[in-house]
Amino acid sequence: MPASARLRSGYHSIFRQDLFALIPTSAKRILDLGCGTGELGKALKQRQKCHVTGIELNKEAAQEAGKVLDHTIIDNLNRFDPAFLNDKFDCIILGDILEHLVSPWSILKKFAPALTDDGRIIASIPNIAHPWIISQLQKGLFRYELSGLLDITHLRFFTKTTIGQLFYRAGLKITDIRPHPAKENPIQYLVTAVKPKLKHKEAIATILILTFNAWAYTKQCLDSIKAKTKTPHKILVIDNGSTDETIAELRKDKEIFHIENSQNLGFARGFNIGLELIDTPYFVISNSDVVVTSNWLNAMISHMNLDKEIIALGPVSNYVSGPQLLRGGTYQDENELENYAQGIRQKIVRVFTYCPRIVFFFTLFKSKVLSKIGLLDEQYELGNFEDDDYCMRIHLNKLKTAFLNTVFIHHYGHKTFEHNNIDFAKTMEENKKRFLMKWKPVFDKNSQGG
């Protein structure tokens, strides 16, 4: 059988109608990574006026693609430098290719700058969390095959969550991610991503926000951060499986990044998804039901740096347990809130309060905490006591936690629990037991004067 006939009947010649439908008809310059024999590019050129460049490792497939595409390159994406293309593309296609690469994270990041400002990346990525795979793992099986989800040539494996992490690392904003061929049979995810419209090119802080439904509060939180934060920053929202309008709204907002978890992972595990990605000197973890006030980030960073041993710094608030609670606020709207916060800044004498426990409803960290202390302990399911636990670990490493008396953050309190009918008291009690069990040896040692 001639090479061309073999290719037309095999993997390299598959035409992806699902990807074809996602590619904008307005795209004039298109780059197809792992283009195979060029069937997709050929169909695109028949549908619209466009210039298609393909890159393909398989020599025989690339030769076939060269007959139908405008420009074909035979090369290995693991080593290819897109700077050699000397071009920008309205659409970059990655159809079932990322999972075959040694470092898909670095390669996606390397190709992202080749996208025009209003361009799109279209990708299809196999889903290792498919129910069939899970059922096989429960039987102790993970058997490679010649094709499909466990294709023997797959080097990397992804879920919906880790796809979000992949694109965030590349500086790309996901605007759509859908299971294919159906929600009940998510063999792969079809991803559309764009360049975000960020206010700051070089962020010094990453603001992590955890969401689970209750979009009205999340919107107010995001709006306040955008309006009141001048210090260079970026926002990463980690969604814990929302079923209301949250996902649709997050996808539309090109001023932020977001990651979509398939289910509610809880506070610690949900935030850890974002903490694994921190690449700025500072980060904030924030509940979604807070409203910030002017100059908060600049004030917290500048004051934190007055003491090199402070590694976690909280604000004062109207709704928080412990000494961070500030009673007596009578504001009724955001204008009154701002005036109230300004009044606090003007009359406070003691700027810092060093405190062995601060509440992680809204907290600024130096990012070095992650290398010194690690991630949040995920045994505290849903929420509560992960902050007590982390503060314990900080102090055992002879670092400090404190709160800033001059920064006031409004907190509605427990809105995620309320909107999702989660029993707050039960969760609190269960996690208290976990906390006491974990730290009992330390408490016993201290009580004995050890």
427: pLDDT confidence band, cut at 50, 70 and 90? confident
CATH 3.90.550.10: which residues of the chain? 205-447
* Range list of β-strands (E), 34-172: 51-56, 71-74, 89-95, 115-126
User: Could you tell me which of 142, 87, 141 has the C-alpha nearest to residue 114?
Assistant: 87
Range name among 193-197, 214-218, 259-263, 381-385 with the lowest pLDDT average: 381-385
State which H helix or E strand residue 363 sits in. Answer: strand 362-366
Structure tokens at 406: 């001059």
Query: Do 159 and 128 contact (CB within 8 A), yes or no?
Result: yes
- The stretch 181-188 carries a mean pLDDT of 96
Phi, psi of 107 (to 5 degrees): -75, -40
pLDDT of 373 above 90: yes
Task: Reduce the DSSP state of residue 402 to 3 states and report it.
Answer: strand
3-state secondary structure of 57: coil
Is the N-terminal amide bond of 181 cis, ω within 30° of 0? yes
CA 313-317-319 angle, to 5 degrees, is 120
Determine the distance from the C-alpha atom of residue 278 to the mean position of all C-alpha atoms in its chain, rounded to a whole number: 10
**How confident is the model over 72-112, as pLDDT tens digits?**
999 999 999 999 999 999 999 999 999 999 999 999 999 99
DSSP secondary-structure letter at 38?
S
pTM, to two decimals: 0.93
> CATH homologous superfamily of domain 205-447?
Spore Coat Polysaccharide Biosynthesis Protein SpsA; Chain A (3.90.550.10)
What pLDDT digit, counting tens, does each position of 108-119 carry? Answer: 999 999 999 999
Cβ atoms 344, 316 nearer than 8 A: yes
State the pLDDT at residue 11.
63
Residue identified by tokens 């939180």 is 221
Residue 360 near residue 385 (C-beta atoms within 8 A) = no
Question: What pLDDT, on the 0 to 100 scale, is given for residue 429?
Answer: 85
pLDDT band at 447 (very low <50, low <70, confident <90, very high): low
Q: What does each C-alpha distance from 367 to 86, 191, 285, 363 come to in angstroms?
A: 36, 30, 11, 12
- pLDDT for residue 1 is more than 50: no
pLDDT at 285 over 80: yes
Asked which of 55-69, 153-167, 206-220, 342-356 is least confident by mean pLDDT, the reply is 342-356
CA-based torsion, 166, 167, 171, 173: positive or negative: negative
- What are 271-280's pLDDT values in tens digits? 999 999 999 9
CA distances from 321 to 133, 283, 318, 328, 387 (A): 44, 22, 9, 15, 12
Q: 386: Cβ–Cβ under 8 A, 6 or more apart, which residues?
A: 267, 268, 360, 376, 377, 380, 431
Where, residue-wise, is CATH 3.40.50.150 in the chain?
3-194
Q: Which residue has the higher pLDDT, 27 or 414?
A: 27
> 85-121 as b/e, with b when 16 or more CB fall inside 10 Å?
beeebbbbbbbbbbbbbeebbebbbbbbebbbeebbb
Residue 445 confidence (pLDDT) = 74
In whole angstroms, what is the distance from residue 368 CA to residue 281 CA? 8
Confidence band of 147 (pLDDT split at 50, 70, 90) = confident
% residues pLDDT > 70 (the chain): 94
pLDDT at 165 over 60: yes
CA distance 319 to 218: 17
- Report the relative pairing of strands 185-194 and 173-182 from DSSP bridges: antiparallel
Strand-strand pairing, 362-366 and 282-286: antiparallel
The number of CA neighbours under 13 Å toward the Cβ of 115 is: 26
What mean pLDDT comes out for the span 182-202? Answer: 95
Q: Rounded to an integer, what distance in angstroms lies between the CA atom of residue 228 and that of residue 195?
A: 24
Per-residue pLDDT band at 8 (split at 50, 70, 90): very low
User: Residue 53's beta-bridge partner residues?
Assistant: 31, 71
Instruction: Quote the CA–CA distance of 397 and 424 in Å, as a whole number.
Output: 31
Mean pLDDT of 155-172: 98
Kind of pairing between the strands at 400-411 and 310-317: parallel
Topology adopted by domain 3-194 = Rossmann fold (3.40.50)
- The full 3-state SS of 89-126, as one line of letters, equals EEEEEEECCHHHCCCHHHHHHHHHHHEEEEEEEEEEEE
